[in-house]
A and B are shown apart, each in its own frame.
Chain A
Amino acid sequence: MNSSRTDARIGFIAFNTFREAVRDRVLYNLIAFALLLSGSAILVGEISIDIERLVVVNLGLTAVSIFGVVIAIFIGIGLVSKEMDKRTLYTVLSRPVRRWEFIVGKFFGLTGTLIVNTLFMAIGVLLALLYTAHRFEKMDVWVMVAVYFIVLQFLIVCALALFFSSFSTPLMSAVFTFALFIIGSLAEDLRGFARITHGAGGVLATAIAYLVPNFSALNVISQVAHGDSVPGRLILYNTLYALLYSTMVISGAVLIFQRRNLK
């Protein structure tokens, strides 16, 4: 009974977050720009030799990933601070809504928004692929896996944006989240660097390398562009990793928000 009420409250906050996010005009501009870029991939593919599919997949999925990250950061950073500025947060929390429910609801609302956006952008990429090849091929399944990995990437970015938003200003949250996205995209090199570093520096480098989000394993765009398959175990591990990492970050956000003085 109690847990169903909690679910309802989280669902309500998530739905409202989603509704508010899709009202934002900037969101549509970004999606339109991403779709335009996917479409322009057809043009780029035509003026190059024998790499039409490669360009469509590379450019299309890169646009989906980058614009998705921009959307996640853009919306995520203001989720808490905007509610505080408009003083709507106090109204929400004065009702029987717990602080952790508010954070978790916001997270689900934001990821829901991103999943819907990704769906539209992915359809754009698939249409561009269809236009280029005139039919879908077996290897296009792996393009969908790459899109799935991009969604997992957004899950982590949303969690990070919300985490920073729970204690920092929107500008600083954007800087921190974007910096972590860049570091996380170089995570493989970072772990390689940690492997060749010895002593206390090596321990520190290893700890950092394993704690920053690993976006590099979630990026298989160039692999699928060449028609290479993605191992099933990597799909499983990446799914679990993204879920656990987002849980970790959202837990951190809840712990901070629980202690935050909102007066």
Chain B
Amino acid sequence: MNATRRVNVATAALLLFSMTGAVALLYAIDHLQRKAPAQDALYINSPNVLRRMSLGYSGLLADIYWTRAVQYFGEQHHKGSGDFRLLAPLLEVTTGLDPRLLPAYQFGANFLAPKPPAGAGLPGSALSLMKYGIEHNPQQWRLYYNLGFLYYTELKDYARAEEAFAQGAKLPDTNAFMPILAAQMAQHAGEFDTARMLWFTTYQSTKDPNIRENAVGHLQALRVDEDVTRLEELVAKYRQQTGHPPTSMADLEHAGFIHGTPTDPKGHAYKLMPGGRIEVQDPQNIFFITKGLRPGATTPQPPPVRKADAK
């Protein structure tokens, strides 16, 4: 082996060694900084100042802030923290820099308004964000839908929800559910159907895995709430007809009220409790349910996401 070749081989080996070492160290640095006490801060929260500082590249800066908002939410959720105080300013900066960044509005509608730990518990900020979005994107039915969704789910303001859905329904490019939702708001009818339609539309109209997972959870919870309501009505009806409460689900089946053993979305049979109440077997596995819980139990919330899910 001549001298030049020896130098080349040694240098190539050194390059590979240092590259591996640098990547491993970078991984360690990332790990260290993730472990360090949270120093999340938004030093500049004025979209106007940031727009001027971006020298015209406000679109790129908006994308960076949007990524930061998603990461922030994921990290806080991963830590199991109910503190999402930076979510609203991050989304405001993002949409201020790029008012046409629609996913940011949808994310805001789903995670700004709900109470912690599911969200930031800021319905006012969520509403302001949607109104700002509509002002800058008046032809986007999704924003009217998000606004109506907020009025209905968080504020129970049927009149404003109807108004938002009706406005969205008038747009040339709209969703078939919009006029139906507007009509249902006007009637205050079919709570379960309305809620189901809302969450189904949410699921359909996004690609964001966080929003989709949240929608699936709510759809499952709706099914449980509806099943429990219906089964408790059947128990009452049985008691009325026979003069005594049923002792098991089999009694209801023999009386012709149900066919087979009713199960929850996870495949577990519902439990008939003494006194005629219906409970789910594993309440910690079905989030957001308001019925089928032990007396005094609170609505189960999703646990902090696993690391892989947070990505």
A-side residues, CB < 8 A to B, are: 98, 100, 186, 189, 191-193, 195-196, 198, 210-211, 214, 217, 222-223, 228, 231, 233-234, 237-238, 240-241, 244-245, 247-248, 251-252, 254-255, 258
In the complex, the answer to whether A241 meets B29 with C-beta atoms within 8 Å is: yes
State A217–B30 Cα separation when bound (angstroms): 8
A231-B32, A240-B21, A255-B15 in contact; A196/B311 too (CB < 8 A)?
A: yes
Find the B residue at minimum CB distance from A209.
Answer: B26
Closest CB-CB distance, A207 to chain B, in whole Å? 9
State A189–B68 Cα separation when bound (angstroms): 7
Closest CB-CB distance, A263 to chain B, in whole Å? 16
State A231–B35 Cα separation when bound (angstroms): 11
Q: B81 within 8 Å of A by Cβ?
A: no
Find the A residue at minimum CB distance from B37.
Answer: A228
In the complex, the answer to whether B32 meets A233 with C-beta atoms within 8 Å is: yes
Complex partner residue of B67 from A192, A244, A254, CB under 8 angstroms: A192
Q: Which chain A residues lie closer than 8 Å to B171 at the CB level? A: none
Q: Which chain A residues lie closer than 8 Å to B8 at the CB level? A: 255, 258
Q: Which chain B residues lie closer than 8 Å to A195 at the CB level? A: 71, 311
Q: B23 within 8 Å of A by Cβ?
A: yes
Q: B216 within 8 Å of A by Cβ?
A: no
In the complex, the answer to whether B67 meets A189 with C-beta atoms within 8 Å is: yes
Complex partner residue of A241 from B4, B22, B68, B70, CB under 8 angstroms: B22
In the complex, the answer to whether A100 meets B7 with C-beta atoms within 8 Å is: yes
Contact with A along B62-75 (1 / 0, CB 8 A): 00100110110010
Q: B36 within 8 Å of A by Cβ?
A: yes
Find the B residue at minimum CB distance from A259.
Answer: B8
Q: B33 within 8 Å of A by Cβ?
A: yes
In the complex, the answer to whether A251 meets B311 with C-beta atoms within 8 Å is: no
Number of A-B contacts (CB under 8 A): 81
Q: B39 within 8 Å of A by Cβ?
A: yes
Q: B14 within 8 Å of A by Cβ?
A: yes
State A228–B12 Cα separation when bound (angstroms): 40
Q: B19 within 8 Å of A by Cβ?
A: yes
State A252–B22 Cα separation when bound (angstroms): 14
Closest CB-CB distance, A221 to chain B, in whole Å? 12
A248-B18, A251-B18, A254-B7 in contact; A238/B29 too (CB < 8 A)?
A: yes
In the complex, the answer to whether B29 meets A248 with C-beta atoms within 8 Å is: no
In the complex, the answer to whether B39 meets A193 with C-beta atoms within 8 Å is: no
State A237–B31 Cα separation when bound (angstroms): 11
In the complex, the answer to whether B74 meets A244 with C-beta atoms within 8 Å is: no
Q: Which chain B residues lie closer than 8 Å to A241 at the CB level? A: 22, 25-26, 29
For window 236-266 of chain B, which residues contact chain A by CB distance below 8 Å? none
Most buried by B among A217, A222, A238: A217
Q: B11 within 8 Å of A by Cβ?
A: yes
New A-B contacts (10) at CB < 8 Å, excluding given A222-B43, A233-B32:
A191-B30, A196-B71, A214-B26, A217-B26, A231-B36, A234-B29, A240-B25, A241-B22, A244-B25, A251-B18
A255-B8, A255-B12 in contact; A228/B39 too (CB < 8 A)?
A: yes
6 intermolecular pairs with C-beta atoms under 8 Å apart: A196-B74, A217-B26, A231-B36, A247-B14, A248-B15, A251-B18
Q: Which chain B residues lie closer than 8 Å to A245 at the CB level? A: 18, 22
What 8 pairs between A and B have smallest CB-CB spacing?
Answer: A251-B15, A248-B18, A247-B18, A241-B25, A244-B22, A244-B21, A244-B18, A245-B22
Q: Which chain A residues lie closer than 8 Å to B273 at the CB level? A: none
State A155–B126 Cα separation when bound (angstroms): 46
Closest CB-CB distance, A153 to chain B, in whole Å? 14
Q: Which chain B residues lie closer than 8 Å to A214 at the CB level? A: 26, 29
In the complex, the answer to whether B67 meets A237 with C-beta atoms within 8 Å is: no
Closest CB-CB distance, A224 to chain B, in whole Å? 12
Q: Which chain A residues lie closer than 8 Å to B11 at the CB level? A: 100, 251, 254-255, 258
Q: Which chain B residues lie closer than 8 Å to A193 at the CB level? A: 67
Complex partner residue of B64 from A186, A198, A238, A244, CB under 8 angstroms: A186
Complex partner residue of B32 from A198, A237, A255, CB under 8 angstroms: A237
Q: Which chain B residues lie closer than 8 Å to A192 at the CB level? A: 67-68, 71
Q: Which chain A residues lie closer than 8 Å to B70 at the CB level? A: 196
State A193–B74 Cα separation when bound (angstroms): 12
Q: B49 within 8 Å of A by Cβ?
A: no
In the complex, the answer to whether A189 meets B311 with C-beta atoms within 8 Å is: no
Find the B residue at minimum CB distance from A195.
Answer: B311
In the complex, the answer to whether A196 meets B32 with C-beta atoms within 8 Å is: no
State A210–B4 Cα separation when bound (angstroms): 31
Q: Which chain B residues lie closer than 8 Å to A254 at the CB level? A: 7, 11
